[in-house]
Structure 1
Amino acid sequence: MLVLSLALLGLKSFSNDVNEKNKNYKISEKPVTLSILAIQNGKVFDENWLVFKEAFKDTNIKLESATSKNLTDEVQAFNLAVSSGNLPDIISYAYPDKIENLGMAGGMVPLNELIDKHAPNIKAFFEKYPRYKMDAVAADGKIYYIPCYYDWYAMKASQGLFIRKDWLNKLGLEVPENMDDFYKVLKAFKEQDPNGNGKADEIPYFDRTIEFATKELVGLFGAEYGFYMDNGIVKYGPTQERFKEAMPEVIKWYKEGLIDPEIYTRGFSGRDYMLRNDIGGVTFDWFASTTGYNNDEELKKQNEKFEFIAIAPPKYKGKSYAPDARTTSLGGWGISASAKDPVTIIKYMDYWFSDKGYELYNWGVEGDTFAKDENGKKYYTDKVMKAPGKNALQVLRDNGLQFKIGARQDYEYEKAWGDPKATEWSEMYMTNGYIMDQVPLFKYTPEEAKKVQKINSQISMALDEMSQKWVLGAEDFDKSYEKFVERVNKLGLKELIEINQRAYDRVQS
């Protein structure tokens, strides 16, 4: 905990290291307009967002979307720009490997020298946090993009195990502490009518995220569903002993009706359906949004005793496992080779790592989206917290906060708009070490990337296919598991592990 505390302290005090208070952030005497390709969650960059209008006032740099407001698929927009050769000045993208491949092919400007000479804030940030810099360095040692960083040192936890506390109370059950207890609770939810409607309609475990359904179930047993690091060695979870232990248990749960029979087809609205119809008992989901159901007035009208709480993952062989953690970063932006003035652009990118840029990115404009109390603590205004028909996060997004650019998140922003219980529970997962860290970004050469894309897609399809067949009972696990291992090996698993190991070692060195 001491190490974590020091890391946290360092992250929060970084802006004081580069003393810029009351600094003039103007980059150009005359207004400069830069084109940008940037789409996030179907939302195209909008120059009229509050955050970027304020940045223009500070820097005299204005961003203008290079894509139509009607083109909301960022993959399609990126591919179209690359294939046409008509690249904007700045490219923001969720997939850094694609930006790096484009850079190694000459389509993006290497940023190393530009950062060293013209971006003191980014340079200081990288020097202070080499773990963050690792995300930015490509396989050839060059930097082609500035990542969009999560406040990873402060909060790795993203999702947790939620259980119906009102159902536990109804049946006189305690919060399960180990996997045996957890199994008994699921059985009780299935067989003892906790919703009290006289029907056997309860679904003990459900999941709305189809691609994570099996990953989270086996993950509760400490099994990895993909590649992971074991003391610096790359391993593939589904071929390891822990996976062989976990999958039979998951199969057993499904066979006994403890898992949603439609878990692979229920879809994204499954959580809402399960809770509003009072039939769902347990799920593994995002802290903030799932906690929000406890404050849902319509749901409370239907069931005044409704209570959905996050609990520690039940211990398996003496340890609790949470199979989903935040990554250190998600996408970012870089300068295309078509840009006429990379120096101006890198200075603008550096602005977002300044005191003002950091505050603007996370909190918006003082007196508009946020204010400070007598102790200087920031809080969001009623414009954000009490907007009719919208939650706080939607309002922040509508004003451009936390949009995917090269910047750094402040976890305090999430605490400011989120439910205090969500903060409490996510911090419980963080401080108690339940989190199973995601594998770090592997940095591939263009040649490696082609092989990885081919092999990985085939292996992933094989895993998803067999996992569903095992859980649904279409294939006997004991009889077909070794055949599955033979299959993924024939698809190139050994070569993929070797490539990933080289990529990992390359970044470490």
Structure 2
Amino acid sequence: MPDIIQRGFLNFPGGRDNAIEGHIILKLNGLIDRYAPNYKKYLMSEPDLGKQVKTDSGTLYGFPFVRGTDMNCVFYGPIMRGDWLNDLNLEIPTTIDEYENVLKAFKDKEGATAAFTPIGTEDNFIIGAFGISKGWYIDDNKKVAYGPARPEFKDYLTVMNRWYREGILDKNFASNNEDAVKSNMLSGKSGLILGYSGGYLATLMNIMKDKDSKYELVGAPYPTLKKGEKVKFANKDWKFNTVTAAITPNCKNPELAMRLLDYGYSKKGNLLYNFGIEGVSFKMVNGYPTLTDNVIKNPDKLSVAEAIAKYSRGSYVGPFVQSKELDEQFTMGMPQQKQAKKLWAQADPYPNKYPLATFNSKESQEIVGIEAPLNAYVNENIIKFIMGTEPLSDFDKFQAQLKKLNIDRAIEIRQASVDRYNKR
């Protein structure tokens, strides 16, 4: 076993306390007090983060990757062909009806044979308009809820089924992967995808800039049902994304490992992890760490995300705090990226976002036994309903089967877990 393990421990079998009791990783509370002054100082300045990185028993077990600001947590959302919108004299859509009209125009007037290309059933960007999530969330009464068990889920399926029948939803949505999404957006088959402001929007525009000078991608907001409504559900990450560097009992020098990991939360360590090597990948300009042309205008035509990865972990994860300054250059280097992130950031999903709650050992075993067949059944039937191989008139039967698959017990277990989390 290595000295340090970096992974997402949130769903470790039996919970994170079980990883400690099973001698997989060390409890670090006392070690942090003695050997990690930078990390301890940061934790004290971020009380909400402290709640997320502790176990239910109050144990600290590692050094997390943290997104430094709320804007750092926004990096993924709807991306559209802005040049097509201009050609057709259309505004960026904000409601489901407006999205539908735009997609029809893309199909009929721009020749988009797969106007909206998602990846499977995970890119459920319209479902939040119905006040629910595709999976687990916290309802307005502060209780755990499950989207497919709600009556509004049928409304979501009805729209997706209509889009499929009318040919504006990619017929291959169920088998799509990232390569298919990017290919469709580059070839003109698609006009709407869900993607990252860096790895998708910027990368695709860089590929096309010498091929089609008019080609432009823009961000679009998560839709609502009615004009002017507040967007409640969107892809906005927690500051702590669950990836953590933990020390194993095999480590012969825990003090040295602690000091190494603590370095990422120091001023110098933060610069190194975010920006890399001064004079090579960044330089200081009036106190602002600025990426060099080696990254921004990479001679090998790498995107900013690809180029910075040669020198730092700023575009990935690790035991450090991702800086605001890096985010401003990495995910907002283009005007279109700034526009996209500004739109995506208007959503406020945190009140309804399922928290980073964990299960104890007994709950973990039971919830896996319930949710493995539950998830398989739900995902299979979402595809059937959208494609029309299962009629929407059978939706009540679908929800009755959720009862048979113990959805109510799953809600009970998750509610107990969330209640403990809220008491941390």
The residue type paired with residue 190 of structure 2 is: G
Aligned position for 2:385: 470
For each residue in 1:429-464, what CA deviation from the matched residue of structure 2 results, as whole angstroms up to 9, or x when unmatched?
21x235466422122112222222222222111110
Q: Secondary structure at the match of 1:441?
A: coil
How many residues of Structure 1 are paired with residues of Structure 2 in the alignment? 411
Aligned counterpart for 2:322 among listed residues 389, 395, 409: 409
Aligned position for 1:71: none
Deviates more, 1:100-109 or 1:331-340: 100-109
How many percent of aligned residue pairs carry the same amino acid? 24
Structure 1 residues 104 and 411: CA distance shift in structure 2, 3 A: farther
Aligned position for 2:251: 339
Aligned position for 1:433: 347
Question: Is residue 363 from structure 1 mapped to residue 278 from structure 2 by the alignment?
Answer: no
Structure 1 residues 396 and 94: CA distance shift in structure 2, 3 A: farther
Aligned counterpart for 1:281 among listed residues 191, 210, 225: 191
Which residues in structure 2 correspond to 1:14-413 (within 5 Å)? 87-98=1-12, 100=16, 101-191=18-108, 193-195=109-111, 202-207=113-118, 209-213=119-123, 215-230=124-139, 231-292=141-202, 295-296=205-206, 299-318=208-227, 319=229, 321=231, 323-328=234-239, 329-373=241-285, 375-385=286-296, 386-402=298-314, 404-413=317-326
1:389 Cα offset (Å)? 4.3
1:243 Cα offset (Å)? 1.8
1:262 Cα offset (Å)? 0.7
1:334 Cα offset (Å)? 0.9
Structure 1 residues 467 and 142: CA distance shift in structure 2, 3 A: same
The residue type paired with residue 94 of structure 1 is: G
For each residue in 1:352-401, what CA deviation from the matched residue of structure 2 results, as whole angstroms up to 9, or x when unmatched?
2111111211112222221011x211111233232414223223223342
The residue type paired with residue 254 of structure 1 is: Y
1:248 Cα offset (Å)? 0.8
The residue type paired with residue 67 of structure 2 is: Y
1:348 Cα offset (Å)? 2.3
Question: Is residue 498 from structure 1 mapped to residue 415 from structure 2 by the alignment?
Answer: no
The residue type paired with residue 419 of structure 2 is: D
Instruction: Tell me if structure 2 keeps the 8 A contact 1:312–1:320.
Output: no
The residue type paired with residue 242 of structure 1 is: E
Structure 1 residues 162 and 434: CA distance shift in structure 2, 3 A: farther
Greater RCO, 1 or 2 (C-alpha within 8 Å, sep 6+): 2
For each residue in 1:142-162, what CA deviation from the matched residue of structure 2 results, as whole angstroms up to 9, or x when unmatched?
122222112253333222222
Q: Secondary structure at the match of 1:399?
A: coil
Structure 1 residues 278 and 453: CA distance shift in structure 2, 3 A: same
Q: Secondary structure at the match of 1:205?
A: coil
Instruction: Tell me if structure 2 keeps the 8 A contact 1:160–1:284.
Output: yes
Aligned position for 1:459: 374
1:172 Cα offset (Å)? 3.4
The residue type paired with residue 167 of structure 2 is: G
Structure 1 residues 492 and 166: CA distance shift in structure 2, 3 A: same
Q: TM-score with structure 1 length normalisation?
A: 0.75
Query: How far apart are the structure 1 equivalents of 2:242 and 2:309?
Result: 16
Structure 1 residues 435 and 290: CA distance shift in structure 2, 3 A: farther
The residue type paired with residue 101 of structure 2 is: K
Could you list the runs of 5+ residues in structure 1 that have no partner in the other structure? Answer: 1-86, 196-200
Query: How far apart are the structure 2 equivalents of 1:218 and 1:398?
Result: 38
Q: Secondary structure at the match of 1:483?
A: helix
Instruction: Tell me if structure 1 keeps the 8 A contact 2:125–2:234.
Output: yes
Query: How far apart are the structure 1 equivalents of 2:58 and 2:413?
Result: 17
Aligned position for 2:357: 442
Q: TM-score with structure 2 length normalisation?
A: 0.89
For each residue in 1:72-131, what CA deviation from the matched residue of structure 2 results, as whole angstroms up to 9, or x when unmatched?
xxxxxxxxxxxxxxx221111134332823213232211111112332222222222122
Structure 1 residues 135 and 452: CA distance shift in structure 2, 3 A: same
Deviates more, 1:287-296 or 1:267-276: 287-296
Q: Secondary structure at the match of 1:204?
A: coil
For each residue in 1:2-50, what CA deviation from the matched residue of structure 2 results, as whole angstroms up to 9, or x when unmatched?
xxxxxxxxxxxxxxxxxxxxxxxxxxxxxxxxxxxxxxxxxxxxxxxxx
Structure 1 residues 340 and 303: CA distance shift in structure 2, 3 A: closer
Query: How far apart are the structure 1 equivalents of 2:356 and 2:110?
Result: 44
Structure 1 residues 175 and 389: CA distance shift in structure 2, 3 A: closer
The residue type paired with residue 236 of structure 2 is: A
Structure 1 residues 159 and 404: CA distance shift in structure 2, 3 A: closer
Could you list the runs of 5+ residues in structure 2 that have no partner in the other structure? Answer: none
- Runs of 4+ residues over 4 Å off in structure 1: 434-437
Give the aligned CA root-mean-square deviation in angstroms: 2.3
